[in-house]
Amino acid sequence: MQVTETLSEGLRRELKITVPAADLDADVEGRLDELRKTVTMKGFRRGKVPLSIVRRHYQPRVLGEVLQQTIETHSREVLEQRELRPAMQPEIEITAYDEGKDLEFTMGMEVLPDIELGDFSDLTVTRLKAEASDDAVEEALGRLAEAEKRFEAVETPRPAQEGDQIVVDIAVEVDGEPAPERSGTDVPLELDAEALMPEMTEQLVGARAGEEREVTITPPEPDQEAGEQDEAAATAEATVFKVTVKEVQERLPVAVDDAFAERRGAENLDGLRGVVREQIQSEYEHVSQARLKRSLLDVLDERYKFDVPPGMVEREFDAVWQQIENDAKRAEADIATVLDQPEDEAREEFRKIAERRVRLGLLIAEIGGNNDIAVEQEDLLRAAMMSARGHPEPQRLLEFYRSQPDALERFRPTVFEDKVIAFLSELATVSDEMVDVETLLRDPDDDEKPSKSEAADGGDEEAAEAGEGESTAQDQSG
């Protein structure tokens, strides 16, 4: 094998690789001889087919396999011998080959930059912290009380009004045919336009106990300019609800007292206050850690300046810009309107964001690799448990992750970055600063357009908190 470097410019490398014809012929003959021992043909016993006949039938296929394997093997050897680290999959092109002649192919790539990490002990960052105040606790208790809805029958008979709950028997008909699976008895209906279909609330307000009403829900008129999506709406039938009102109930005021606390699982009101305070403080700590992570990333971005592979930047930018285009499409607006700036200016700014994310990702990967920081299965399960807390069926989600280990891989980039940040936090000088809640919760990018941060993070919750370069870091860390 002969290797010639034809280009070395910045992070771009191009190599020409020549494989002697004799090596290829030997590999082809060896593969054909292996086939001869196992192939079966009419008129010959297994393993007794003459090599000439095997060659006539199988040489084209074997030659293709040998060429592919030769290119893969020699490319890998060249990368190892020259200690090249491709940023992405190398580009391979066969430039010369005829049967019986040498194989020539080129391998082009962008390589990862060499990063001098140095010492991290002089890193200095500030961690913002806030305490859960009594007012914050009382406001949270008030929200809990507002969310608790308890009803009892009205003492003096009166018509139902919005905000009430009525207990009804419902018989449902669709296109004149009974729909028993949608019908029911003693069904509680809250007359709230946001909790119930607005048309249902509108037609049941004013009903009294013992009254029967027929509520008709008519599908909306299809949009003439819409496509297939509204064709189904055009053929949808009206649904009729035959409602018998059995009781009108009014909402009870909720007092924030010991009884309320007991309904929430606490021993008394002071106990509930303590639980709420801990929850609020936990949320503040979560935000504080995310802000610390962002601060460390900002410091790293200022300290380390090195060239990044243009192809990686372009890939990151394309992903970000695709999200922006999707947002604009959903909003039925052009990009300039969504971002409140000319598109060419937005492209330039987002390209800078993409470059920052790639640089930080490469840096995080280098730090993690140099310090043997690895993501274990337990780390992924822990991240899955945290994610499941906000899920409507957390136990079911966790069971899914346990039964499908590959699904846990979605957490790997974030977990890897967090472990590197935790490692840096131990080495850096971190000073705590007590601030008010508004300061703690303020977006660090408030001086910029909020949409930039959101689009750059692609809507990912972990990235939105502070993260950049997660996918790039994991690409390089494995």
pLDDT tens digit sequence for 51-63: 888 788 878 888 8
Q: What is the mean pLDDT of the chain?
A: 86
Residue ending a domain, choose from 227, 253, 279 = 253
Tokens of 360: 């930080």
Strand-pair partners of 125:
430
* Whole-number Å distance between alpha carbons of 177 and 330: 37
Q: Closest Cα partner for 304 from 120, 471, 430, 121?
A: 120
Mean pLDDT of 298-311: 94
* Whole-number Å distance between alpha carbons of 389 and 398: 10
Residue 119's SS3 state is: coil
pLDDT of residue 164: 92
Domain match, 370 and 302 both: yes
Strand-pair partners of 248:
166
Residue with tokens 């800078």: 352
343 domain residue, yes or no: yes
Domain match, 238 and 195 both: yes
Confidence of residue 222 (pLDDT cuts 50, 70, 90): low
Maximum CA extent, the chain = 104
Residue 467's SS3 state is: coil
Burial classification of residue 243, based on how many CB atoms lie within 10 Å of its CB (0-12 exposed, 13-18 middle, 19 or more buried): buried
* Whole-number Å distance between alpha carbons of 245 and 249: 11
pLDDT of residue 62: 87
* Residue 451 confidence (pLDDT) above 70: no
* Residue 444 confidence (pLDDT) above 90: no
Percentage, residues of the chain above pLDDT 70:
88
Confidence of residue 396 (pLDDT cuts 50, 70, 90): confident
CATH number at residue 304: 1.10.3120.10
Confidence of residue 476 (pLDDT cuts 50, 70, 90): low
- Which of 103-117, 357-371, 388-402 is predicted with the least confidence, judged by mean pLDDT? 388-402
Q: Note the pLDDT tens digit of each residue in 148-193.
A: 888 999 999 999 999 899 999 999 988 888 888 989 999 999 998 6
Q: Note the pLDDT tens digit of each residue in 124-135.
A: 999 999 999 999
Residue ending a domain, choose from 198, 231, 253 = 253
* Whole-number Å distance between alpha carbons of 321 and 351: 9
* Whole-number Å distance between alpha carbons of 321 and 324: 5
392 domain residue, yes or no: yes
Domain match, 349 and 457 both: yes
User: Contact, 293 vs 467, CB < 8 A?
Assistant: yes
Domain match, 383 and 468 both: yes
Tokens of 263: 């309904």
Element (H, E) at 153: strand 151-153
pLDDT of residue 43: 72
Q: Closest Cα partner for 136 from 265, 284, 269, 263?
A: 284
* Residue 458 confidence (pLDDT) above 50: no
Mean pLDDT of 267-287: 95
Domain match, 312 and 459 both: yes
* Whole-number Å distance between alpha carbons of 35 and 263: 76
CATH number at residue 15: 3.30.70.1050
* Residue 473 confidence (pLDDT) above 70: no
Domain match, 78 and 13 both: yes
* Domain residue limits at 205: 149-253
Domain match, 244 and 177 both: yes
Domain match, 242 and 277 both: no
pLDDT of residue 457: 39
Confidence of residue 78 (pLDDT cuts 50, 70, 90): very high
Neighbours of 59 (CB within 10 A): 17
Percentage, residues of the chain above pLDDT 90:
61
* Residue 137 confidence (pLDDT) above 70: yes
258 domain residue, yes or no: no
| Domain total in the chain | 3
Domain match, 184 and 325 both: no
* Residue 329 confidence (pLDDT) above 50: yes
142 domain residue, yes or no: no
- Which of 195-209, 284-298, 439-453 is predicted with the least confidence, judged by mean pLDDT? 439-453
CATH number at residue 165: 3.10.50.40
Confidence of residue 226 (pLDDT cuts 50, 70, 90): very low
Q: Which distant-in-sequence residues (6+ apart) come within 8 Å of 14 by Cβ?
A: 5, 6, 7, 106, 107, 108, 109
Look at the pTM and tell me if it is higher than 0.85: no
* Residue 475 confidence (pLDDT) above 70: no
* Residue 470 confidence (pLDDT) above 70: no
Domain match, 315 and 424 both: yes
| pLDDT greater at residue 475 or residue 161 | 161
* Residue 442 confidence (pLDDT) above 60: yes
Domain match, 234 and 280 both: no
**Residue 252 per-residue DSSP state:** P
138 domain residue, yes or no: no
262 domain residue, yes or no: no
118 domain residue, yes or no: no
**Residue 447 per-residue DSSP state:** T
Confidence of residue 243 (pLDDT cuts 50, 70, 90): very high
Report the DSSP pairing between strands 165-174 and 184-190.
Answer: antiparallel
pLDDT of residue 152: 94
Domain match, 334 and 465 both: yes
409 domain residue, yes or no: yes
pLDDT of residue 468: 55
pLDDT of residue 224: 52
Tokens of 170: 């419902």
